[in-house]
Structure 1
């Protein structure tokens, strides 16, 4: 969590919350997923999901490893059959033998009790969708659900869910109750409509069953493909949990966000908005692209909000008529030379007018101060002025002199 280091800013924030630049994260219970902890004040966890058929042992293990090596902390795999559930054991064994243990989540759908019970032996968390776990084929002639019918199905859900809850509880493993806006159960649709309220009530029904069995290793998600629906559902979930004294961590995501620039913007609009409000303990950016493309977006969201620092933060002006060098070209050169570093803020500013002020919080500055020359700064202090063609090399030397350089 960020802290305010400026005493004046600290005083202003205390006097008026509008000045507070700290993200105050919602208090949640810690939930262990293998070697990773979600919630409990731990850093926001990054997740993704492989595309490979889980029956492909070698392909799945390789895909999981690729994701983990670039920063994906928890990996989800789909488990549509009993054969797939048993294959997870081999995948896990292969990972341990050839790489290392990776926290795994199994995705179980459609009357999946037997599958879930099998795969629970081999993974660290099981994700179920309340709208599909006990799947009821919709009736085209139904006009309503009576209270007795509603309760009857609720009891069937309890009977189906209870064995899974008990085995996860006894093994000390986790469950994600993952509600999707597009797959609400028919009785929830009839009772609450296709609404965030229906999503929240669907999650609460499953939470209460788990709690009645003294099981609380739960993570909750309420995903939708429309950002306003997703935002409303999570906010309502927090409200309802607060009213009920629940402190379960939340998994954030905009499902079916698509691809390309818009898919990234759409995911960021939903995930970052909630994170900025202190809501969310783990995230997944769902892109219609290779899973590896999701991880940089996750870390960029977290870095932009100051929730995790996993890369260099580049501060660069947008360029204008005062700029004394090709700013876009120089920024690319600086980034190419330093992007492997972590924990640094580097500013690239085109002129002296805004440079020192706008880059005041940066560790290092690269500023066009006079034609043909670059001024290099450490914080607010100008260290040296060098010819433009030596700027990047001298920036690296400055970082090395401060013992903050590591070779790529």
Structure 2
């Protein structure tokens, strides 16, 4: 069997065929090649392709309730959240951010803060920028013109006039952020595109991309480059298209700004997690994305494990034990589901390890070859422990988990919970 892909060909030998593969198509490699970007500092967290993909979230407490907001931010930080966003819809909310930040710093919490600014947010953004590490603005709402239900089109003159108003409104914020060496997120949302963008490009991913590029170009004209870009939509297919378009557009014009990934309003439970993963993981696998937020209709701190799990599953972060376990079959020699739970309970506090739990000796050793440690059924009531590809010892099943822990300790890779 021979498969041929277009382009200059490189022959790849396999056990059953010879593939002709375009050597420029890096997507066929096992390693993810991230889109090269500059580093944008958000407080003490570097965001960009030379750094780990950062996980962030947003509190749902009222910013004016300062004790509750501080508590919500600390819960997120304790859960591992690396950047926290806070809604700032008014000048009072922006001023409250100063008190929130001070109380956090007094408590030793240094997690970077982002102010989320809403309609006609020039004054709010300027006030909030004094107290946060990054300001997020929505291009569709930053200079908000109420839609005209009778409008049939936008003339070139009207379009240019609106663009000029945006440039004038954005200039003082960019100047302040540049002076203070803080960051700006240009956060496009599919549900709130400006009317003139909808008339020109439709309610489409193309309209989202052009909305972002207008603001990106203004920042670049002012020699301000602490910019992060997001293109969120509640439909995964729209989100995917918008991020790909804006990445291509930025690359074509020489803008190497990082991307913040997320599927907005993903919902809750299994479906919310699956929907978020479908969008975020797809783009990360293509090399796009430098920070992520999983948007769940749940307590914000429950978003953090999902984000880290997505990154670990793609090999982009290593923040927990990676468990490799077969789905079980008729050859399985013990209750694999129960044993996996026991192994996880004993070792889940560790980091940086791959531990395999395999039901039988037939496929287990081969399928777990990349794991640090293996727990494999050898015979009824008996399991064997592996270190990498090497079988170390055979023990009764009743002693298996205890023996696995002992082996990890022997290797000096154990830490107490």
TM-score > 0.5, shorter chain as reference: yes
Q: Is 1:333 paired with 2:358? A: no
Q: CA deviation at 1:22?
A: 0.8
Q: CA deviation at 1:107?
A: 0.2
Q: Deviations over 1:260-294 (max 9, x none)?
A: 10000000000000000000000000000000110
Matches of 2:291 and 2:172, distance apart in 1: 26
User: What is residue 215 of structure 1 aligned with on the other side?
Assistant: 224
CA RMSD after TM alignment: 1.5
Q: Does the aligned pair in 2 maintain the 1:61–1:95 contact within 8 Å?
A: yes
User: What is residue 61 of structure 1 aligned with on the other side?
Assistant: 70
User: What is residue 260 of structure 1 aligned with on the other side?
Assistant: 269
Q: CA deviation at 1:17?
A: 4.6
Q: Is 1:36 paired with 2:11? A: no
Change (3 A) 1:193 1:19: closer
Map 1:11-90; keep pairs closer than 5 Å.
Answer: 17=26, 20-90=29-99
Matches of 2:251 and 2:345, distance apart in 1: 46
User: What is residue 379 of structure 1 aligned with on the other side?
Assistant: 388
Change (3 A) 1:92 1:341: same
User: What is residue 278 of structure 2 aligned with on the other side?
Assistant: 269
The runs of 5 or more residues in structure 2 that have no matched partner are 1-12
SS in 2 for 1:77: strand
User: What is residue 293 of structure 1 aligned with on the other side?
Assistant: 302
Q: CA deviation at 1:306?
A: 0.1
Q: Deviations over 1:226-278 (max 9, x none)?
A: 11111111111111111101100000000010111000000000000000000
Matches of 2:219 and 2:242, distance apart in 1: 21
Pick the aligned partner of 1:364 from 373, 379, 391: 373
Matches of 1:19 and 1:124, distance apart in 2: 38
SS in 2 for 1:132: coil
Matches of 2:378 and 2:122, distance apart in 1: 68
Q: Does the aligned pair in 2 maintain the 1:112–1:133 contact within 8 Å?
A: yes
Q: Does the aligned pair in 2 maintain the 1:303–1:310 contact within 8 Å?
A: yes
SS in 1 for 2:167: helix
User: What is residue 256 of structure 2 aligned with on the other side?
Assistant: 247
Q: Does the aligned pair in 1 maintain the 2:34–2:49 contact within 8 Å?
A: no
Change (3 A) 1:346 1:54: same
Q: Is 1:313 paired with 2:322? A: yes
User: What is residue 403 of structure 1 aligned with on the other side?
Assistant: 412
Matches of 1:241 and 1:160, distance apart in 2: 23
Matches of 1:161 and 1:228, distance apart in 2: 30
SS in 2 for 1:325: coil
**Structure 1 length as normaliser, TM-score?**
0.96
Q: CA deviation at 1:19?
A: 5.0
Greater CA drift, 300-309 or 97-106: 97-106
Q: Deviations over 1:57-95 (max 9, x none)?
A: 111111111111121000000001111101100010001
SS in 2 for 1:130: coil
Matches of 1:80 and 1:232, distance apart in 2: 29
Q: CA deviation at 1:160?
A: 1.0
User: What is residue 3 of structure 2 aligned with on the other side?
Assistant: none
Q: CA deviation at 1:159?
A: 1.1
Q: Does the aligned pair in 2 maintain the 1:225–1:257 contact within 8 Å?
A: yes
Q: Deviations over 1:192-228 (max 9, x none)?
A: 0011110011001111111111111100000111111
Q: Is 1:175 paired with 2:193? A: no
Pick the aligned partner of 1:156 from 144, 148, 165: 165
Matches of 2:178 and 2:146, distance apart in 1: 30
**Structure 2 length as normaliser, TM-score?**
0.94
Q: CA deviation at 1:14?
A: 10
The runs of 5 or more residues in structure 1 that have no matched partner are 1-7
